[in-house]
Structure 1
Amino acid sequence: MAVSIDLLTATASDIQSRLSNQTITSTQLVKLYLNQIAQYDGYLKAVIAVAPEDLLTKTAAVLDQERAKGTVRGPLHGIPILIKDNIVTGPELGLPTTCGSLALVGSKPKRSAAVVGKLVAAGAIILGKANLSEWAWYRSDLADSGWSAVRGQTQSAYVRGGFRHDDSGGGHSNPGGSSSGSAVAVAAGFSPLSLGTETMGSLIMPSDRSALYTIKPTLKIVSQDGIIPVSFEADMIGPMAKSVLDLANLLDAIVDPTKTTVPRGGYSSVVTGDWGDIRIGVLEPEKWLFPPVIVKYEKQASDQMHRDWKAAYERLASVVKVVKPVTLLSTDESTEHGKKDINDAFHCKFKTLLESYLANDVDDCRIHTLKDLIKFNEDHADQELPPSADNQNGLIRALERDGTMTDEEYNSLVNYARDRCGRQGIDKVLDENGVDVIVGPGDGPLFVISGTAGYPGASLPLGYLDFNGRPFGLQVIAKAHQEALLIQVQSAWEATFPQRRPPPLDDIVGGKSKKEEL
């Protein structure tokens, strides 16, 4: 019997219902998603690798058998998922871990990341690894987001004409990064869910540009074990999904409840669609945009986003009890105009973190030190240093600054940045204005303030640019450990604003109908 499903619109919750009423099996699902990837990823380049089909089929069959016997592990049971390729997967999953770098191709991680183990235990099927901005966009200054030497340039599932090479690296035609493939893959129906990572903005930016819901959790409430690191002072794994319920269910699976307070009934229990008594502070969009060096100015795009952001604020004011303008310290003010930048601390520790991973967590790797990586890129410059990513300034900075801070200086800088953006920044604005969350443009650096503080942030899909189809929205931040509040905001947003649109994938990529049939 043929089964069909609209992979562009189906959420994990929809699929779970289909699995429960026996109108589809996980074995069939795996085949459908593999077909979708095979059909469209030659253009989109959102996926670095898929697991061997026989292994996926075997895993799905076991989960189907469990279900048939009355055992369902939870809302992720039998659901395929893609994970970003800087999250380590062990040999049992049949997948590489490359961080997008040719230097790591063929390396063999000894074990999977802790979060991968949680997903497997929850019954999720690890379908494959998603493309990313190489080395999570740390390697190069102003490289095109979504580009890696292993897979090439990730393309938006929405943008007509694809990424323009006359655009800036994060311009309106770009899918955003560094969790580019994780976002595009969900939008394109390659999996209903994905995991990405964020150091500063790498979940929020690509989700904003794929009309997805994401949340960057409070620092360290999701295990950092098994992330190829930039800095454990900021790196966090986070979920991406087409619906808030899916997002909450995935967050329930990966958060360590001993590190925070999870609502009774889990994060899914706050997916109510109700604003309740939530009070919102809104930022002036003009002051919270990326500079032109990151996002090339396009008048038509800018004018439309400003109109729609203003209209969204007005809509919020009609349904929420308190919506008021607030002012938050700028990214420049947060660093004392560059004098106390937390990124300087990151540079001083990156070499140690990278070399620890290479020495302890992986076998058969062709590089062993940061110097080896820099030399490898120089020796393979035709592949590793193309015009789209023609420098490795981040790696060179890390090499030059290694050991230039004492532990006391390092801790002092990190603690200053945390306090400046957290207690003296976000907390102060919320408390003094009597609001619970702060909302600002998705296409801007608000995530730098929350990321530096170690606080959570989330995406709010809104509209689509007339001139090229690219989605855009808003982002929302709150105090530490307020994930439940942010999920409630996203749920109420989902109920208040128009339903997200799937991408016109056949118009973008060409090929058969979006409705896959097996």
Structure 2
Amino acid sequence: MSIDVGQGKFGRAHLAGWIPPVNEGDSKFDPMTTSASVLQDMLTAGKLTSVEILNEYYRQIMNYNGYLKAVYQLAPGAIDQAKALDSQRVSGRVLSPLHGIPILLKDNVGTDPSMGMDNTGGNLALVGSTTVRNAPIVDRLLEAGAIIMGKTTLSEMMYFKGTGIRCGWSALHGQSQNPYIRGGIDYTDGLGGHSSPGGSSSGSGIAVAAGFAPMAIGTETEGSLISPSTRQSLYTIKASLGSIPNEGIIPISQHLDIAGPMCTTVKDTADLLTVLVGDGRPDAPLGGYATAMKGEAGWKQLRVGTLDPAIFHSSEPLQTYIPEAVEQIRTATLRGYERIKDLALEYHQDVSLRPITDFEYEGTSAVVELMVEDFELDFDNYLSGTKNSQVASAKELVRWNRAHADLVLPTEYPNQEFLERSIIVDHSSDRRRKLMEHITTVGQTVQDALDKYDIDVIVGPADSSFSRYSAASGLPSCSLPLGYIDYNGRPIGLAAIARSEVTLITLQSAFEASFPPRIPPSAFLSGKE
């Protein structure tokens, strides 16, 4: 089997399928720094059309995707969609703040055959496969007037293929690159180390940071929105579990999975979250989540607790210990805490949560074991709503991978341990219920801490096990871009958990207004093909 995604500056730029026109000429905006909300203002003022916006992003993709490998496919109908939305605008009809704004989808978010794109999860067995109908979140985006621009790369099977695989790699897409990192991936570093783009929503984060689109959709089971958003200096919200529909998205665990926004600004994050959540949630704010933005004044509504970075940090083998990098991350975290302490209504240092080891069940992570328990049934259910798939079940996927090991199980990443384990699960046993009870019990520590310390939000280092507490509790979490390390230029950040998305948007808005602005990447500009 041969999949040609090509490479080169003005060749295919590692794109499968349709190749966009490349129009040279003067830029009307900087795709690296212009947010969706600013583009919307320019559209409203008649300074731009959506077709012109698309062309600028196409140029950026064709210049740099060959190196970054962030985008897998582009939608052949996007230009026609942009023209139709431009016509609606001329006639006075604007559907939402996303009207005429391009957006990229992670390559596990299903689109119907009319979109002209696969839905693969980075797995060669699913090349050519589409969902019978759009995932509900795709229809919500279209109804809001967003332009579905294409699909981004990801860590294969949402980083649930097997152990020992580097973040940002898939058999289909290859290894993606963090646009901030000088020299690209360091293969002597850990699988999620200082040179990593993070995972599994790697391509979505890279694409937004590198100016391939103003916003993108990622998905998270445990950390897959927070991690790449932190590594690309972006804002994201992982909403409360169950608040955004999972249908039509390649799953790991329907209990843990959720899609979310990845953007350069809080306003864009809030506007995109509003569309993804839709109208059916009673606690969503009237007028959308952007109404929760209070700027720096928002600190006076927030009682904040922070986690000890000596306890919550990244560790080997995921990340090689680099003393100067680790010390700079620790120092930046503590300085961030001091700034929050000065600004917040109330502040509590060293909030205590149950230790990460409490998530272990029978000697291993209960959260990972739940994924193993859930994957087969949830994946098989997803496949029942697809067309043109080469496999019809998780068992067939495992067998297909074995039969094509030369392509999908290469020497450097030869295993599919999680997939193999998932197909031998005894679904009639009581183990899943026990795992759920254990996870829920330990996850309650977050709610207990919010109550004990009488705080609204818990903030901690993003490069840590903190995301597991959000997965276990079902509470929403978010990223907070903090700075950049001298070692190789990579971004670092904080993460936060609260009872509601409204609180997190208020926090992000206050943070954005009072901390140094994010800096767009530049290292990749010399790495283009």
- Normalising by structure 2, report the TM-score: 0.92
**What residue is the counterpart of 1:230 in the other structure?**
252
**What residue is the counterpart of 1:461 in the other structure?**
481
How has the CA–CA distance of structure 1 residues 386 and 167 changed in structure 2, closer, same or farther, with 3 Å as cutoff? farther
Please list, as runs of the form range in 1=range in 2, the aligned pairs for 1:343-354 lying within 5 A after superposition.
Answer: 343-354=368-379
**What residue is the counterpart of 1:313 in the other structure?**
337
Count of residues in Structure 1 that have an aligned counterpart in Structure 2: 502
SS at match of 1:196: strand
Q: 5+ unaligned residues in a row in structure 1: which ranges?
A: 512-518
How has the CA–CA distance of structure 1 residues 466 and 387 changed in structure 2, closer, same or farther, with 3 Å as cutoff? farther
**What residue is the counterpart of 2:202 in the other structure?**
180
**What residue is the counterpart of 2:70 in the other structure?**
46
Deviation at 1:352, TM superposition (A): 1.5
SS at match of 1:281: strand
Q: Distance in 1 between matches of 2:437 and 2:174?
A: 38
Task: Please identify, of 382-391 and 323-332, the stretch whose mean Cα deviation from structure 2 is larger.
Answer: 382-391
- Residues 300, 343 of structure 2: 8 Å contact kept: no
Percentage identity across aligned positions?
A: 40
- Residues 3, 23 of structure 1: 8 Å contact kept: no
Q: Distance in 2 between matches of 1:457 and 1:153?
A: 27
Task: Please identify, of 28-37 and 125-134, the stretch whose mean Cα deviation from structure 2 is larger.
Answer: 28-37
Deviations 1:219-247 (A, max 9, x none): 01001111111001100000010000000
**What residue is the counterpart of 1:134 in the other structure?**
156
Q: Distance in 2 between matches of 1:151 and 1:48?
A: 7
Q: Distance in 1 between matches of 2:299 and 2:145?
A: 32
How has the CA–CA distance of structure 1 residues 508 and 405 changed in structure 2, closer, same or farther, with 3 Å as cutoff? farther
Deviation at 1:434, TM superposition (A): 1.4
SS at match of 2:300: coil
- Residues 107, 363 of structure 1: 8 Å contact kept: yes
**What residue is the counterpart of 2:7 in the other structure?**
none
- Residues 131, 248 of structure 2: 8 Å contact kept: no
Q: Distance in 2 between matches of 1:250 and 1:35?
A: 24
Deviations 1:349-375 (A, max 9, x none): 3112222222x2112211122222122
- Residues 179, 524 of structure 2: 8 Å contact kept: no
How has the CA–CA distance of structure 1 residues 507 and 263 changed in structure 2, closer, same or farther, with 3 Å as cutoff? same
SS at match of 1:476: strand
**What residue is the counterpart of 2:6 in the other structure?**
none
Match of 1:143 among 160, 165, 171: 165
**What residue is the counterpart of 2:10 in the other structure?**
none
**What residue is the counterpart of 1:503 in the other structure?**
521
Aligned-residue CA RMSD (Å) = 1.6
1:341 is aligned to 2:363: no
Q: Distance in 2 between matches of 1:260 and 1:286?
A: 39
**Paired amino acid for 1:13:** S
Deviation at 1:338, TM superposition (A): 3.9
Deviation at 1:282, TM superposition (A): 0.5
- Residues 78, 123 of structure 1: 8 Å contact kept: yes
**Paired amino acid for 2:475:** Y
1:304 is aligned to 2:322: no
**What residue is the counterpart of 2:398 in the other structure?**
374
**What residue is the counterpart of 1:436 in the other structure?**
456
- Normalising by structure 1, report the TM-score: 0.94
Task: Name segments (4+ residues, structure 1) moved above 6 Å.
Answer: none
Deviation at 1:114, TM superposition (A): 0.3
Q: Distance in 2 between matches of 1:14 and 1:456?
A: 27
**What residue is the counterpart of 1:327 in the other structure?**
352
**Paired amino acid for 1:98:** T
Q: Distance in 2 between matches of 1:508 and 1:388?
A: 27
Please list, as runs of the form range in 1=range in 2, the aligned pairs for 1:252-271 lying within 5 A after superposition.
Answer: 252-271=274-293
Deviation at 1:252, TM superposition (A): 0.5
Match of 2:470 among 432, 442, 450: 450
**What residue is the counterpart of 2:501 in the other structure?**
483
**Paired amino acid for 2:321:** Y
Please list, as runs of the form range in 1=range in 2, the aligned pairs for 1:356-367 lying within 5 A after superposition.
Answer: 356-358=381-383, 360-367=384-391
1:494 is aligned to 2:494: no
Q: 5+ unaligned residues in a row in structure 2: which ranges?
A: 1-24
Task: Please identify, of 245-254 and 378-387, the stretch whose mean Cα deviation from structure 2 is larger.
Answer: 378-387
- Residues 223, 256 of structure 1: 8 Å contact kept: no
Deviations 1:459-510 (A, max 9, x none): 000011101111011000012xx00000100000000100000001554424
Deviations 1:222-281 (A, max 9, x none): 011111110011000000100000000000111044345111221010111121220111
Deviations 1:164-190 (A, max 9, x none): 111111010010000000000000000
1:211 is aligned to 2:233: yes
Deviation at 1:415, TM superposition (A): 3.3
**Paired amino acid for 1:278:** L
